[in-house]
């Protein structure tokens, strides 16, 4: 806002010779001191209303308004958007409360409850060879050998579903008879549907019992859930092969105290979970390559007097987790063999406790990027005195990026 004043001249001044000089005056807010724009009605800085008082632009006092009177409240010239803050807080509170409820309704016990139990079995002992395939999206799978059974196979299934679910809609086992002595039993839960309005959604906890007289080829794939197999200390089992897998869940393979088992294949893999392996006592393993692998989780591995018919490789790996091995070889083999143990973890320690008799030559090679390596008192490697001459050889490659490597003889 600009004002102008004229300069009075004496009457004797010649108006044509002297021009009247006009001075431009710039006005300022009387409240905050900011320069005002020409003909401004409000101060752009503090927001005060400007009115002319005796020819001078003057900042007028402003009455504070309550939230019920308007959207803006002025305090020292600074507007506070109370309504926006209140709305933002309200939305935040609603999100905090409703999102957990939605997730709970989808995944939690508020929407999944035990709706029943059913069993499935095969009663004829004519079928002593079993091909077993289990695909379960959500839920645990536990397999047991049971020497009290008089039938070859039985499964007990605990079913969980939503409020309006019916046990009759749950998935069941199917059996196909391949020939006179072989049957194929399978279970497929289907894809798990997370939409809370779908009532035909189930999770399954499955317990399976196998007669020790049955030769089983077992494949299990659990997307979310633990998997276990126990031989229950039963001796002289004949197992075709075992392949246990889980995306998210632990794997427990337990042949503890089972003696003289024949096993033709072993594969244990999970993405996230611990793997516990006990191969039993004097187990004959007819497999050239065994994979024990988890991405995130530790591995515990144990056997006593393992019998390898052919040369074989043990691949025992994890990205994040420790690896602990406890192995003992005290039997004398009537044939030569070579066993390679490739043991690797990115983040975690490796510990090996072993005992080998004098007929077995062995070599340990250990490495760690940031940890200590102690192999029988040596820094990185150790070979037994008979390593170059023994017909039965065990080679160990032990590697970790972050963690220690320790080898001890028991």
| Residue 5: pLDDT over 70 | no
The pLDDT > 90 percentage for the chain reads 62
Domain boundary among 36, 63, 90: 63
| Residue 324: pLDDT over 50 | yes
For every residue of the chain, which 3-state class applies, written as one string?
CEEEEECCCCCCCCCCCCCCCEEEEECECCCCCCECCCCCCECCCCCCEEEEECCEEEEECCCCCCCCCCCCEEECCEEECHHHHHHHHHHHHHHHHHHHHHHHHHHCCCCCEEEEEEEEEECCCCCCEEEEEEEEEECCEEEEECCCCCCCEEEEEEEEECCCCCHHHCCCCEEEECCCCEEEEEEECCCCCCCCCCCCCEEEEEEEEECCCCEEEEEEEEEECCEEEECCCCCCCEEEEEEEEEEECCEEEECCCCECCEECCEEEEEEECCEEEEEEECCEECCCEEEEEEEECCEEEEEECCEECCCEEEEEEEEECCEEEEEEECCCCCCCEEEEEEEEEEECCEEEEEEECCCEEEEEEEEECCCCEEECCECCEEECCCCCCCCEEEEEEEEEEECCEEEEEC
Confidence label for 61 from pLDDT (cuts 50, 70 and 90): low
* pLDDT tens, residue by residue, 291-302: 999 999 999 999
Task: Count structural domains, the chain.
Answer: 2
* pLDDT tens, residue by residue, 376-407: 988 899 999 999 999 999 999 999 999 999 99
**Whether residues 49 and 121 fall in one domain:** no
**Whether residues 223 and 316 fall in one domain:** yes
| Residue 202: pLDDT over 50 | yes
**Whether residues 30 and 170 fall in one domain:** no
* pLDDT tens, residue by residue, 326-377: 999 998 888 888 999 999 999 999 999 999 999 999 999 999 999 999 999 8
Tokens of 394: 């065990």
**Whether residues 57 and 175 fall in one domain:** no
Around Cβ 48, how many Cβ atoms within 10 Å? 21
| Residue 284: pLDDT over 80 | yes
**Whether residues 175 and 36 fall in one domain:** no
Q: How high does pLDDT run on average in the chain?
A: 84
Give the CA distances from residue 222 to residues 136, 156, 172, 228, in Å, rounded to whole numbers and listed in that order.
5, 17, 16, 11
The pLDDT value recorded for residue 24 is 46
Q: What would the mean pLDDT of 28-33 be, rounded to a whole number?
A: 74
**Whether residues 51 and 168 fall in one domain:** no
The pLDDT value recorded for residue 171 is 86
Flag whether 322 is in a domain.
yes
Angle at 246 between CA 244 and CA 247, to 5 degrees: 155
Q: What would the mean pLDDT of 29-38 be, rounded to a whole number?
A: 73
**Whether residues 164 and 26 fall in one domain:** no
Flag whether 91 is in a domain.
no
**Whether residues 20 and 119 fall in one domain:** no
Q: What would the mean pLDDT of 236-265 be, rounded to a whole number?
A: 97
Domain region containing 25? 1-63
Flag whether 287 is in a domain.
yes
Domain boundary among 46, 63, 80: 63
| Residue 19: pLDDT over 80 | no
The pLDDT value recorded for residue 68 is 44
The pLDDT value recorded for residue 196 is 53
**Whether residues 262 and 124 fall in one domain:** yes
**Whether residues 118 and 32 fall in one domain:** no
**Whether residues 202 and 274 fall in one domain:** yes
Flag whether 50 is in a domain.
yes
Flag whether 77 is in a domain.
no
Flag whether 107 is in a domain.
no
The pLDDT value recorded for residue 22 is 42
The pLDDT value recorded for residue 86 is 66
* pLDDT tens, residue by residue, 86-140: 666 667 777 676 666 555 555 544 467 899 999 999 999 999 999 999 999 999 9
Are residues 329 and 353 in contact, defined by beta-carbon separation less than 8 angstroms?
Answer: no
**Whether residues 155 and 16 fall in one domain:** no
Flag whether 87 is in a domain.
no
| Residue 195: pLDDT over 60 | no
Flag whether 273 is in a domain.
yes
CA distance 35 to 23: 17
| Residue 23: pLDDT over 50 | no
Instruction: Please report where in the chains the tokens 């490796």 appear, as a residue.
Output: 350
């Amino acid at each position: 806002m600009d004002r102008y004043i004229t300069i009075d001249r004496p009457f004797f001044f010649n108006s044509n010779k002297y021009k009247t000089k006009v001075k431009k005056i710039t006005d300022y807010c009387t409240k905050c001191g900011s320069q005002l724009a020409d003909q401004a009605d409000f101060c752009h800085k503090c927001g005060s209303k400007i009115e002319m008082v005796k020819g001078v632009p003057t900042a007028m006092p402003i009455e504070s308004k309550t939230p019920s009177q308007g959207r803006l409240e002025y305090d020292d010239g600074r507007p506070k958007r109370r309504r926006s803050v209140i709305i933002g807080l309200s939305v935040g509170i609603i999100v905090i409360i409703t999102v957990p409820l939605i997730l709970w309704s989808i995944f939690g016990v508020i929407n999944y409850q035990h709706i029943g139990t059913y069993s499935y079995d095969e009663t004829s002992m004519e079928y002593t060879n079993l091909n077993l395939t289990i695909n379960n999206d959500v839920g645990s799978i536990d397999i047991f050998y049971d020497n009290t059974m008089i039938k070859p196979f039985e499964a007990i299934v605990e079913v969980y579903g939503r409020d309006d679910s019916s046990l009759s809609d749950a998935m069941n086992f199917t059996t196909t008879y391949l020939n006179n002595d072989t049957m194929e039993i399978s279970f497929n839960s289907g894809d798990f549907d997370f939409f809370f309005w779908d009532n035909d959604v189930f999770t399954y906890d499955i317990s399976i019992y196998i007669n020790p007289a049955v030769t089983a080829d077992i494949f299990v794939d659990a997307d979310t859930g633990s998997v276990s197999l126990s031989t229950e200390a039963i001796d002289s089992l004949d197992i075709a092969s075992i392949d246990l897998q889980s995306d998210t869940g632990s794997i427990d393979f337990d042949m503890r105290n089972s003696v003289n088992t024949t096993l033709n294949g072993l594969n244990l893999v999970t993405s996230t979970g611990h793997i516990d392996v006990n191969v039993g006592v004097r187990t004959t393993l007819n497999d050239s390559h065994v994979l024990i692998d988890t991405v995130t989780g530790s591995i515990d591995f144990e056997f006593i007097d393992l019998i390898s018919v052919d040369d074989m490789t043990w691949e025992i790996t994890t990205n994040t987790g420790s690896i602990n091995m406890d192995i003992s070889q005290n039997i004398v083999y009537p044939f030569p063999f070579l066993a390679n143990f490739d043991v690797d973890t990115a983040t975690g320690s490796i510990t090996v406790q072993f005992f080998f008799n004098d007929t077995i030559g062995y070599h340990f090679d250990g490495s760690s990027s940031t940890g200590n390596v102690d192999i029988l008192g040596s820094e990185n490697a150790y070979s037994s005195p008979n390593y170059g001459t023994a017909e039965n050889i065990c080679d160990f490659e032990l590697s970790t990026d972050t963690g220690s490597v320790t080898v001890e003889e028991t």
